[in-house]
Structure 1
Amino acid sequence: MHVPDGFINAPVSVAAGAVAATAVAVSLRGARRELGGAFQGEGSGGERTAPLAGLVAAFIFAVQMLNFPVAAGTSGHLLGGALAAILVGPYTGVLCVSVVLLMQGILFADGGLTALGVNITVMGVVTVVVAYAVFRGLLKVLPPTRRSVTVAAFAGALLSVPGAATAFTAIYALGGTTDVPIGKVFTAMVGVHVLIGIGEAAITAATVGAVIAVRPDLVHGARGLSTPLKLRVGGELVDAPAAAPAPAPARSTKPVWITGLVTALVLAGFVSYYASASPDGLEKVAADQGIDAKAEEHAAAGSPLADYSVKDVTDARLSGGLAGIIGVGATVVVGTGIFWTVRRRRAQDLTATSTPAPSAR
C-alpha cells in the first residue's frame, strides 16, 4: 500500500507530513518509556526491547518483500503495524514502520518521497492505533493466556489493514489528483484489503505465537500475563494473596536476535524471489479506478537499488537477493541505532532526575 508521488496533491501531502511528523515526535517520547521500562520499575522487559526493535523493523522490511496472492491478478504484503506494536509496543511500533518506509523510499524507490507523510500516517500510525486498540480490548475480555495474546494479535492485525485502506480513501477524498467517485475507491480499497488483512493476521499471529512460545518476556503485549495462584480454602478455590514479584534472572536476547536476523536475511535474500509478481492492492485499485493517472516518477528512480534490484547485476535472482540483504542490513543498523539512542536518552533523563542537586552552604 505504498502511495507513490502524484496520487495526493501538495497541500494534503504537506498536511499528512505534519501529522506524520507529530506522530513520530510523540512516538519518540513514548518509546523512551517502552524501551527504558527497567528504569521505571517495569521489570527487565524494557531494556530488552531496544536491541530487538531494530530487528523487528528489519523483519518487517523482509516480509514486506513477500507479496502473496489474494485474488485474480492482485497480491498483498504485510503492513507490519500490528506486529510491531504487539512485539515492542505501540510507540516503538510506529517508529519501526516509519524506519522501514524511510529506507524503502530512499534506497528502493518504493513509496513516493513527497508521499512519505501519507505512507507513515496510513501504514504506520493508523495500523498501529487500530491493531493495538483491538488487541488490548480483546485481552480485557479473554482469559489471561498466551493463546489469548495470539488470538487478539490475529484480530488486531486483521482489522488494521482495512482500517489503513479506509484512511487512504479519506486522504484521497481530500486531496486526490484525479476525479474518481470516492464510493468506488472506498469499496474497491476496503474489499481487497480485507483479503490482504487475512494474510496480515496469519503472519502476525504466527510470528507473535512463535516468539511468545520461547520468550514471552520479549513480547510487549504479553507483559504481566500470568495466572493467579489458587488456594483451596473451605473446599473452594480462591486467589492467593499477591506477593511481591521476585526479580527475573537476566536472559540473553542474543539467540533470539541472531535467529530473527538470519530469518529476515533468508526471507529477503532468497524467499522473496518466489513472491507474487502481481500488483498489490493499492496498485490494482489505482489501475482499475484510474487514480494513478497523474502518478509521477519516483525521485530516487535512478537509485542503484531501485525496484529491489542491484544495478548492473543481470541475474534477476542474484540482483533481487542482494538488494533484499542490503535492505535488511541497512534497516537493522539504522533502526537499532535510533532505538539505542532513544533508550540512552531515557536513561540519562532518569539519572538526572534521580540525582539530588548539591545543597548550597
Structure 2
Amino acid sequence: MHVPDGFFNAAVSISAGAVAAAGVAVCLRGARRELDDKTAPMAGLVAAFIFAVQMLNFPVAAGTSGHLLGGALAAILVGPYTAVLCIAVVLLVQGFFFADGGLTALGVNITLMGVVAVVTAWAVFRLIAGRARGRGTVVAASFVAALVSVPVAAVAFALLFWIGGTAPIEVGTVAAAMGGVHVLIGIGEGLITAVTVSTVLAIRPDLVYGARGLAAPLVLRGADGDTAVTREAVSPVAQAGPRRPGWFLPAGVVVAALLAGVVSFYASSSPDGLERVAEDKGFSSQAAKHHLADQPLADYGEGHIPVGVAGVIGVGVTLAVGGGLFFVVRRRTRGEAPAKDEVSA
C-alpha cells in the first residue's frame, strides 16, 4: 500500500509529513524505554526482515495481490515505539533507493503504514493478549492484530484522499473498496505475522517484546498461608534466554536475504490492493513519475539488475540504516542513565 507521488495535494502531503515527523519524534523518545541489549540488534533485523517480506506480493483475488505492511509484526517483536521507527526506516530505504512509494507522499506512507497500522495492531494485541500466559493466545492475538491493522490503514487512506486527494471520489465507495480488498490482504498479513511470532517464540521467546511480563508471580506456601515473592515463575513464553540475540541475529539476516534474493523471483506481479482500487475507481492516472525512477535500483532493479540482487542490497541497506539508528538510540539511553541515577540520589 505504498502511496505514489501525485495522489495528494500539497496541504495533505505537508500535514501528513508533520504528523509523521511528530510521530517519529515521539517514538524516538519512547524507543529508549524499549531498546536494550536484546531489542536494539533485534530491531535492525526486524526492519530488514520486513523489507524482504514486503517484496513477496501474494495473490488475494483475481488480478490483485498484497504484501506485508509489517506494523503488527514489528510492534509484537520489538515494541510499538520501535516498530514505528522500523517501518519508517523501511519506507525511507524503499523511497530513496528503490523508488517505491512517493517522496512527497513519504509522510502519508509513514502515517498510514507506520503510525496508524502500529497503533491499531498494538491496541488489538494488548486487548486480546491481556495477561495471557500461553503461546497460543499470543500467536492468536498476533494474527488478529495484524489482520485488523491492514484494513484500518486502508480506510484511513480513503479518508485522507477524500480530504485532499487530487481526484474527486465517493469516499464511501472507495473506503468500502479499500477496506474490502485489504481485509483479504490482512488475512495474509495475519498468517505471516502469526507464523513469524510463533517461530521466534519457539526458538527465542525472550526476544518477543509482546510476550514479556506474562509470567505469574512465584508463590510459596508457608505455615501461615500463601506468601508471594517478587521473583517471577518463568512461563514458556517469558523464559529468560541469553542477554544478547547471539546466533539468532545472523541466522535472521540469512533468512531475510534468502527471501529477498531468491523467493522474490516468485512474487505475484499483479497490482497490489491500492493500485487495483485506483485503477477501478479511476484515479490511478493521478500517480506521478517518481523523482528517482531512473536510478539503477528503481523498481527493485527492473531493467538493470536482477530483482534478487536488488533485494539483497535492500536488506543490507535496511539493516545498516536501522541497526545504526537503533544503536545510536540505545547509546543515548545508556548515556542518560547515570544522570537519572544522580538525580535520584
Same fold (TM over 0.5): yes
CA apart distance, 1:231: 6.8
What is aligned with 1:354? 341
Instruction: Name the residue aligned to 1:41.
Output: none
Task: For structure 1, list consecutive stretches of 5 or more residues without a partner in the other structure.
Answer: 36-45, 314-318
Distance 2:27 2:303 in 1: 36
Q: Give 1:1-361 correspondences, 5 Å limit.
A: 1-35=1-35, 46-140=36-130, 143-229=132-218, 241-245=228-232, 250-309=242-301, 312-313=304-305, 319-355=306-342
Q: 1:351 to 1:311 in 2, by over 3 A?
A: farther
Pair 201,249 (structure 1): closer, same or farther in 2 beyond 3 Å: closer
- 1:255-289 per-residue CA deviation (whole Å, 9 max, x = no partner) reads 11011100000000000000000000000000110
The Cα RMSD (Å) is 2.2
CA distance in 2, matches of 1:309, 1:66: 15
Paired amino acid for 1:281: G
Deviation at 1:209, TM superposition (A): 0.5
How many residue pairs were aligned?
339
Q: TM-score, with normalisation over the residues of structure 1?
A: 0.89
Residue 83 of structure 1 aligns with an amino acid whose one-letter code is: L
- Unaligned 5+ residue runs, structure 2? 234-238
CA contact (8 A) 1:73 1:279 kept: yes
Q: Write out per-residue CA displacement over residues 23-79 of structure 1, whole angstroms, 9 at most, x where no aligned residue.
A: 0000000001111xxxxxxxxxx3210011011000000000000000000000000
Question: What secondary structure does 1:293 align onto?
Answer: helix
**Shift in alpha-carbon separation, 1:328–1:189, aligned structure 2, 3 A:** same
Instruction: Give the letter aligned to residue 266 of structure 2.
Output: Y
Q: Report the AA paired with residue 26 of structure 2.
A: V
Q: Secondary structure at the match of 1:111?
A: coil
CA distance in structure 1 between the aligned counterparts of 2:64 and 2:240, rounded to whole angstroms: 48
User: Are the equivalent residues in 2 in contact too, given 1:135–1:153 (CA < 8 A)?
Assistant: yes
Instruction: Name the aligned partner's letter for residue 18 of structure 2.
Output: A
Structure 2 residue matching 1:241: 3-state secondary structure: strand
1:123-152 deviations in Å (ceiling 9; x for gaps): 011110000000001122x64211111111
Q: Check whether the contact 1:76–1:280 (CA below 8 A) recurs between aligned residues.
A: yes
Residue 5 of structure 1: how far off its partner (Å): 0.4
Shift of 1:355: 3.8
